[in-house]
Structure 1
Amino acid sequence: MPKKRILTGDRPTGRLHLGHYIGSLLNRVAAQDDYECFFILADLHTLTTHPHKARIAELGENIRQTVLDYLAVGIDPDKSTIFVQSAIPEIFELNTLLGMLANVPRLERIPSLKEMAKSANLKTIPFGLLGYPVLMAADILLPRAHLVPVGADNRANVELARELARRFNHM
C-alpha cells in the first residue's frame, strides 16, 4: 500500500527556534518513516506580509538557514522532499486557476487574514495577503497532499482548499 502524502512547511521569515522544534519539527522527523513527506519553504507567503526590500533581500539566506535547520534536526532528504515554493512554476499556474474560483467575500471571512495584517502592522489587507489562502490551496493541491498538519490559524485555509478542489473538479 502506498504511503499517504503529508505537506507542511514554514515561511522563511528568520531562523527556526525551540517553538518550531517542539511544535512541529519533531513530528516531521518522526513522520518520515510512515509518510511521503513534502516540506515547503513558502517564500511567496512571506512576501504577503513582508513585501519590503530589506525582507526580500533576506529571503535567500533565510531559506538556506531553514534548510540547514531541517537537516540538523533530522529531516532526511533521502526520505523527504524539501522544496522552495517560488521554484515551482506550476504553483503559480494553479494559484491563478484557483483564484478564478475564489470570491472576495469568502476570502475576507477567513479569520487569520485580519490577524496577519494586524501583526504585520498593515492598515489594510493588500491583494497578495487576500490571496494567501488561495496560494496555500495551490501549495496543498499540487502535490496531492492527503494530510496537511497546520496550526489552528490555518484551518480555515485548509477548508478553503477543499472547497476550491471540489469546484475545480466539477468544472
Structure 2
Amino acid sequence: MRIVSGMRPTGRLHLGHYLGVLKNWIALQNDHDCHFFVADWHALSTSYEEKLNLKILGRELVKDWIAAGIDPEKATLFVQSAVKEHAELYVLLNMITPLGWLERNPTYKDQLEQMRHKEIHTAGFLTYPVLQTADIVLYGAEAVPIGEDQKPHLEIAREIVRRFHHLFGCEVFTEPKEMLTETARLPGLDGRKMSKSYNNAIFLTDTPEEVWAKLKVAKTDTQRVRRNDPGNPDVCLVFDYHKALSEDTVVERVNAECRAGTIGCFECKKLCAQSIDRLLEPMRERRERLDDATIDAIVEAGNERAKKEAAATMEKVNAAVFEISCDV
C-alpha cells in the first residue's frame, strides 16, 4: 500500500513525536511503500515570522528520523519544497476548492483559538488542507496515517478529489483512506502538552544527564509527602512515562510498590530515566554516525524519486484541466 506522510521542520523532535508519529512510521515502512517528506512549506503557514532556517532544520529532522529507525532504503525521504509540483497542484486545487469547506473546517477553528498569540489569519493557513491534499494525491497515496484530530483534513482531501474528478471528468487521483493510528499521548514534564515552546520536553537528542536533570523535577503525586506514604500512580506524570516507555515488569513493579509505599519517587524516576535512556541510546549512536553530506545525499536521491512521480501525476492533471483529456 502506498502511504504518504510528512512532518514540519520547526525544531528538535521529542518523545511525544516519537510515540505519536515516528514509532508508527517505523512499523509501516516494513510492510508498505512509504513516502515521508519534510513539510517545509507547511511550516511557513504558522511560523513564517520566526525566520527559521528551514534548510538546516529540515536536514536535522531527517537526521532524527534515520536515528530513530527510518530506513532510506525502505522509504522515500524528500523535501516538499524541492518538488515544485506540490505548489503547481496546490494552485490548481485552490481554484476549485469552495471557501466554505475551509472556513468550516473544525481543525482550522481550533487552531485559530489555540494560537491566538500568533498572527495566522493568512491565506496560507486557511488553505493548509489544500496543500496537504496536493502532498497526498501527487503520489497516489492509498492511505494516510493520522490521529483522530486530523480526520477533518483528510475528509476535505477526499472531497477535493471527488470535485476534481466531477469537474474535469477524469479519474486522475486515488481517493486516500484514513489510517487511524493508536498513539500514546505523553504529557510534558509539567503536565501540559509536550512542546519545546513550553520548555517541558525530553528530546531525542538529550544526553543521559539531560534526561535525568529534567525527570528529577517532574511532577509526581502531590498528596504523597513521605517516602513510605502510599501513592497513587494514576495521578503521577512519571507513571505515564513508565506506561509508555518501560517494560511491563517495571510498570507492574512501580504500580504495586508505589501503592504500597515501598518505592520512593526518586527511585521511581531513576527507573524511568533508565527506560528512556534504553530507548534513546541507539538513536544517539546512529545519529553520531550521520554527517550532513550523508543526509543531503539521501534527501537528494529521495527528491529525484519524488520529482519523477510528481511529474507523471501533473502530466495527467494538466491534460485533464487544460486539454479536457483523460488519455495521458
Shorter-chain TM-score above 0.5 = yes
Change (3 A) 1:62 1:123: closer
* Counterpart for residue 28 of structure 1: 25
Would you say 1:84 and 2:90 are equivalent positions? Answer: no
Residue 73 of structure 1: how far off its partner (Å): 0.9
- Give distance in 2, aligned partners of 1:67 and 1:124: 27
What is the one-letter code of the residue matched to 1:149?
A: P
Given the alignment, which residue of 138, 142, 155 partners 2:138? Answer: 142
In structure 2, stretches of 5+ residues that fail to align are 169-328
The RMSD of aligned alpha carbons is 1.4
SS in 2 for 1:8: strand
* Counterpart for residue 148 of structure 2: 152
**Are 1:49 and 1:116, in contact at CA under 8 Å, matched by a contact in 2?**
no
In structure 1, stretches of 5+ residues that fail to align are none
* Counterpart for residue 12 of structure 1: 9
Given the alignment, which residue of 46, 49, 67 partners 1:72? Answer: 67
Residue 58 of structure 1: how far off its partner (Å): 2.6
Would you say 1:130 and 2:126 are equivalent positions? Answer: yes
**Are 1:117 and 1:123, in contact at CA under 8 Å, matched by a contact in 2?**
no
Would you say 1:166 and 2:162 are equivalent positions? Answer: yes
Identity between Structure 1 and Structure 2 (%)? 46
Structure ranking higher on relative contact order (CA contacts 8 Å, 6+ apart): 1
- Give distance in 2, aligned partners of 1:10 and 1:124: 19
**Are 1:47 and 1:56, in contact at CA under 8 Å, matched by a contact in 2?**
no
TM-score of the superposed pair, with normalisation by structure 2: 0.49
Would you say 1:41 and 2:77 are equivalent positions? Answer: no
- Give distance in 2, aligned partners of 1:51 and 1:124: 9
- Give distance in 2, aligned partners of 1:164 and 1:21: 31
**Are 1:5 and 1:145, in contact at CA under 8 Å, matched by a contact in 2?**
yes
Change (3 A) 1:66 1:123: closer
Larger CA Rg, structure 1 vs 2: 2
Would you say 1:63 and 2:86 are equivalent positions? Answer: no
SS in 1 for 2:141: coil
CA shift digits 1:65-96 (9 cap, x unpaired): 11000110111111101111111111111101
